Amino acid sequence: MKLFSEFGLDSKVVRAITEMGFEESTPIQEKTIPLALEGKDLIGQAQTGTGKTAAFGIPLINRIEVTEERIVALIMCPTRELAIQVAEEIGKLGRFKGIRSLPIYGGQDIVKQIRALKKKPQIIIGTPGRLLDHINRKTIKLDHVNTVVLDEADEMLDMGFMDDIQSILQLVPSERHTMLFSATMPENIKRLAKQFLNEPEHVSVIPKQVSAPLIAQSYIEVHEKQKFEALSRLLDMESPELAIVFGRTKRRVDELSEALQKRGYSAEGLHGDLSQNQRDNVMRKFRDGSIDVLVATDVAARGLDVSGVTHVINFDLPQDPESYVHRIGRTGRAGREGAAWTFVTPREIDHLHFIERVTRHRIPRKPLPSMAEAIEGKQRVTAERVLEIVNDEGLVEFKGIAIQLLEQYDSVQLLAAALKLLTGDKKEVEIELTPEDPLRAKKRRPDVRSSGRKMPGSYVRDGQGQGGGGYRRSGDRPYSSGSGDRGRRDGGSRGGYGGRDDRGYRDGDRGGRKTDDRKPKSNSEFVNI
């Protein structure tokens, strides 16, 4: 591995990298940076999470003059989330040099973007649709662009951005440095590269898993009404040492912890309405193991650091990918393994895919544990408890009665009865939880550019009847050959939830999004002036 000081970079860039906590380059960076510094066109192929942003960002920032007042670099990304992410990383990399960068994506107030553009950013990070909007309005000119990056190119083509990308690239001077990054290399990417790259060098690295290897993540598709049953089966089957169950609201946490107690689990709730004293109490019990299930809201669990949490169960899907990551990070700490289970209602599958996209981690689907599995799990735990004390000295006083019983009854029958008693019958109390509304999935909107009007928020209730055409995410799955509907963006009926493994998800590039619960980031956050 090469250290960043060994690439011959501007000291301000090296300083920024150091401040970001990067010590040595990742494989794709090690291969890409020297080539890019030479100005060679390249195709970079590496899995997500391998540091591709810095691989193109570092040489890009190294090259740009601070005195430059024109747009000299253009980075295209498939979605607003990725554009924001890349912009954040580029912003950090260019901080000490004073490089100005700006993300441009659909769903954000165009007037605001125009204002931010007046601050003369040198790097634009944009989604193709909104970029074209600005180009048509002449608020973005590409005449002086000398570096173009196509990030997540396979994804962009999957989303049907081929035409947009071509239109944009035709407006960039052909005397330029072009870099294309893609996790996969299907035919259409190769064609695109052939058309727009000049004798590119192909750089690829062997996939390597980076994301949270100690946490086994999975999701279970359940209807809202089945959730409680699913939870108790899971708890029975897995018999967690310490589990945190996340609920969306305070009411949910209250109802759920009460329901768990009624069913005989040792659980307590934690949320913001409890007094500090009550919270400390619950936490103390959880830490010392006198309760094994903590039911909490996101807010209550913030910063919660308890070692030995073996399971995180998302009873309700979190709204933000950040919350998801934060929640599951309560387990798998200090080098210990953990499991994270997420309940997803059928209408929330899209939202799950959105979370997968942003966290760049595919979450495998698991079936709901069967009743038999749950029972078996419980019995196993009881049997283990029995075996733990089988060699105990303290059994002497029980031996007399044991001998008497064995004289009268069958040994298997007897042991079974004892185990039954120890396992405890499941208390069949009726549990009724107030249902939570499903999370709204993010949708792609039909192309609104031509209509010239902005669409309202793109968080909509569910897929049925919404125009946003789904698309397949490339990921590591093979492309289905000849699927003519791939990447269409004109609506259509592919929005169903049928395909289990269809990682279709939607993006809000064109539309806005609901902003009442998430503050949109302002442009100025990213312009380093």
CB of 209 to ligand ADP, least distance (A): 12
The nearer residue to ligand ADP, 56 or 286, going by C-beta atoms, is 56
User: Of 54 and 328, which has the nearer Cβ to ligand ADP?
Assistant: 54
Q: Does 80 bind Mg ion (CB under 5 A)?
A: no
Instruction: Determine, following the binding rule CB under 6 A, whether residue 458 of this chain makes contact with ligand ADP.
Output: no
Residue 473, interface with Mg ion (CB under 5 A)? no
The correct pick among 12, 16, 35, 48 for binding ligand ADP (CB under 6 A) is 48
Integer distance in angstroms from the first to the last C-alpha of the chain? 34
Q: Least Å distance between CB 181 and ligand ADP?
A: 7
Containing 261, the helix (H) or strand (E) segment is helix 250-262
Which amino acid would we find at residue 4?
F
Helix residue ranges per DSSP H, 409-516: 411-423
The pair of structure tokens assigned to 451 is 């209509």
Q: Does position 22 bind ligand ADP by CB under 6 A?
A: yes
Q: What are phi and psi of 515, to 5 degrees?
A: -115, 5
Nearer to Mg ion, 126 or 269 (CB): 126
- Whether 288 and 308 have beta carbons less than 8 Å apart is answered as no
| Alpha-carbon distances of 268 from 120, 245, 363, rounded to whole Å | 54, 10, 28
DSSP secondary structure, 423-447, as one string: H---------PPPPPPPPEE-PPPP
Q: Rounded to whole angstroms, how far apart are CA atoms 76 and 164?
A: 11
Nearer to ligand ADP, 158 or 316 (CB): 158
Residue placing its CB nearer to ligand ADP in the complex, 52 or 442: 52
Instruction: Give the nearest distance from C-beta 13 to ligand ADP in angstroms.
Output: 13
- Nearest 5°: phi and psi at 460? -125, 170
Residue nearest to Mg ion (CB): 52
Among 25, 101, 331, 345, binds ligand ADP (CB under 6 A): 25
Amino acid occupying residue 114: I
Binding partner of residue 26 among Mg ion, ligand ADP, none, CB cut-off 5 to 8 Å per kind: ligand ADP
25 binds, among Mg ion, ligand ADP, none (CB under 5 to 8 A by kind): ligand ADP
Rounded Cα distance, 376 and 372, in Å: 6
Minimum separation from the CB atom of position 373 to ligand ADP (A): 36
Q: Residue 20 or residue 402: which is nearer to ligand ADP going by CB?
A: 20
Residues in contact with ligand ADP, total (CB under 6 A)? Answer: 14
Q: Select 2 or 514, whichever has its Cβ closest to ligand ADP.
A: 2
Q: What is the largest CA-CA distance in the chain?
A: 97
Residue 514 neighbours by CB distance under 10 Å: 15
Using CB under 6 A as the binding rule, whether residue 49 contacts ligand ADP is answered as: yes
The residue within the footprint of ligand ADP, chosen from 32, 45, 53, 101 (CB under 6 A), is 53
Residue with tokens 């913001």: 272
Give the span between the Cα atoms of 196 and 167, in whole angstroms: 11
Separation of alpha carbons 7 and 13, rounded Å: 11
CA distance 102 to 306: 39
Residues 332-371 that bind ligand ADP (CB under 6 A): 360
Choice from 32, 50, 79, 261 touching ligand ADP (CB under 6 A): 50
Tell me how many residues contact Mg ion (CB under 5 A): 1
Contact 40, 31 (CB under 8 A): no
Stretch that binds ligand ADP, among 42-50, 409-417, 427-435, 438-446 (CB under 6 A): 42-50
CA distance 280 to 285: 9
Stretch that binds Mg ion, among 34-42, 44-52, 89-97, 407-415 (CB under 5 A): 44-52
63 makes contact, choosing from Mg ion, ligand ADP, none, with CB < 5 to 8 Å by partner type, with none
Residue position matching structure tokens 């990298």: 17
Regarding 51 and contact with ligand ADP (CB under 6 A), the answer is: yes
Nearer to ligand ADP, 145 or 149 (CB): 149
Quote the least distance from Cβ 499 to Mg ion, whole Å.
Answer: 25
Say how far apart CA 98 and CA 65 lie, in whole Å. 9
Binding partner at 51 among ligand ADP, Mg ion, none, C-beta below 5 to 8 Å by kind: ligand ADP
Binding positions for ligand ADP, 67-96, rule CB under 6 A: 89
506 part of the interface to Mg ion, by CB under 5 A? no
Residues 152-191 that bind ligand ADP (CB under 6 A): none
Distance, CA of 9 to CA of 137 (rounded, Å): 37
Q: Least distance in Å: CB of 26 to ligand ADP?
A: 5
Q: Count H helices and E strands in the chain, helices first.
A: 18, 15
Would you mind telling me the total number of residues written for the chain in this entry? 529
CA distance 506 to 78: 11
User: Does residue 357 touch Mg ion according to CB under 5 A?
Assistant: no
Q: Binding segment for ligand ADP among 20-28, 241-249, 279-287, 432-440 (CB under 6 A)?
A: 20-28
Residue placing its CB nearer to Mg ion in the complex, 182 or 345: 182
52 binds Mg ion (CB under 5 A): yes
Stretch binding ligand ADP (CB under 6 A), from 31-39, 48-56, 214-222, 266-274: 48-56
In the complex with ligand ADP, the residue whose CB is nearer, 17 or 259, is: 17
Identity at 152, one-letter amino acid code: E
Question: In 10 A of CB 442, how many CB atoms?
Answer: 26
Contact 444, 491 (CB under 8 A): no
Residues found near Mg ion in the complex (CB under 5 A): 52
Contact positions vs ligand ADP (CB under 6 A): 22, 25-26, 29, 46, 48-54, 89, 360
